[in-house]
Amino acid sequence: MNPSTMYASFLIRVWQDAETIPSVAQWRVEIEHIQSGQQHCFDTLEQALDFLYRQVYPLESVLPSERKL
**pLDDT 10s digit of each residue in the chain, 69 long?**
566 567 889 999 999 877 766 667 788 999 999 999 999 999 999 999 999 999 888 766 555 556 554
Amino acid at the residue 5? T
**Reduced DSSP (H G I as helix, E B as strand, rest coil) percent helix, strand, coil of the chain, to 5:** 25, 25, 50
| Predicted local confidence at residue 46, as pLDDT | 92
Using CA atoms, how far residue 21 sits from 15, 17, 25, in Å, is 14, 9, 6
Residues present in the chain in total:
69
Question: For the chain, what are the domain ranges?
Answer: 10-61
- Contacts within 8 Å (CB) and 24+ apart, 23-32: none
Question: How does strand 39-42 pair with strand 10-16?
Answer: unpaired
